[in-house]
A and B are shown apart, each in its own frame.
Chain A
Amino acid sequence: MDECVLLIEDDTRLAGMVSEYLGKAGYRVLHADNGARGLALHEREPVDVVILDLMLPDSDGLDICRRIRAQSDRPILMLTARGDPMDRVVGLEMGADDYLPKPFEPRELLARLRAILRRSRGAAKAQDDKGASDVLRFGRLEIDLGARDVKLDGTPCPLTGYQFALLLALAQHAGRVMSRDALMDAVKGEQFEAFDRSIDVHVSRIRALIEDDPRKPKRILTVRGIGYVFAKAQD
């Protein structure tokens, strides 16, 4: 393994702890306690991923993020304090790949780091293969529009074509309640499966495949009297 993480964080004690924790997990950690040193290290060392604190003594984390992005497309994980005026949206617009609010669960840091690295390797491979860039990502769920498949934690979920179209219609309108009629319209072009007619039946089948607990759905939610909604914010 031995992947290299560049940690740009002004709090040295926290940086030491993160280094120790990630070191135990098998990562090599380089630490810079300000933005300038971080940028210098980033140019010199072959790092695989950057963990960047939003608040740095010498410069704005967002600025560092933009400058790193201008140099390379190494993945960036942004550390923010929850409720910061600099919200996640801004960070992601500046080119960060993910963000994690302080105080974070150490295990979550590890999980996100792994996910980013996996994605960046996948992206690199995909770029070699060309195309296949249209992937919708919702937390642990990935919907690949090109390949028309769905993965949960990297494991494929065997959806039928009709179910995929239904899930896609929901996911493309994440955060909006979709009525059954609107869903029917969205999947009109798909080939009908003769034995199931009702949207509800299909939704429960999709849930069985993509939900951790289909009885307590967290991704496709029911709103009685209106329809279904695909959750915008997932773990």
Chain B
Amino acid sequence: MPDLVIETYELTKVFQGIGQRIVAVNEVSIKVPNGVVFGLLGPNGAGKSTLLSMLIGLTLPTKGGGKVLGYDIVKESLEIRKRVGILPERIGFYEHLTPVRNLTLIGKLNGLSGKELEDRIKHVLRMVGLSEHMHKNVGAFSRGMRQRLGLACALLKDPDLLLLDEPTAGIDPEGVKVFRGLVRDLSREGRTIVISTHLLRELGPLCTHIAIMKEGRILVQGAVKEIFEDFLLKRGFTYDISLSEVADQGIVEEIKELGNVVDVQLKGRDLIVRSKVDLGDELYDMLTKRGYRLRKFTMRKPTLEDVFLYYSRGEGANEVG
């Protein structure tokens, strides 16, 4: 297994229509290390699905190239599809058939047969929690059950790499919770999982690595920890402070004198301080020495949404770590 399970260079896809030219993916170079949960994050229309389609040879790139598990995405796409479990966006099933029959077709296309196939089907249905529905027709399944069946399809070949395209879109909160649990379990087994999603809150916390995509471009990519550190360094630190009594305006000037302070807002007893570096200790010491009792002193923790908004506005750099 290569250290980088996915590596692309300047991957570009242009759709030519009548009188229009859409650059769906624009010179994307991504690197996905082995064993991580990689979130491909971005709004609808960012080019995530097209990028994933190109990785498995479903769509041919207009320019650039890449490798998945060491195989060329253009010349060896069949080898990739043999080894990668894929849950495409808007996956469909033969509704009049049971999950077992749908999975049998998928299994046979992957070279499985007989007892081995039967056992694998039972195993994956158990993994995704559909064992008790194995004899019902898929037509009777809810959206969440279908997505779980899609995951079962992806897992049937026991892949080391999973590509999940918008896996929780349209699923109810309970279904999302179940899905998250499944992804966590799969990640613990050492599989590399790439999740493309626009639902940052739902799946973002699962990711160890992310790439933020917008309008076909990768805005930032790397390990989540490093991206957050980078974000804090660039965006600065924000402290929410609540004093026990109303402060005078002089405190604002005093805080500014600490250096590296970007902005101080005082509203009665509440202070919001923004600084370029971590001033938590200095600020705390200064306020307590001045005799203020602090009812609240917290540093705002950035969320994935904050990071996404920051980079999507073009304020961040391209790569972290």
A and B held together in a complex: no
On B, residues with C-beta under 8 Å from A are: none
On A, residues with C-beta under 8 Å from B are: none
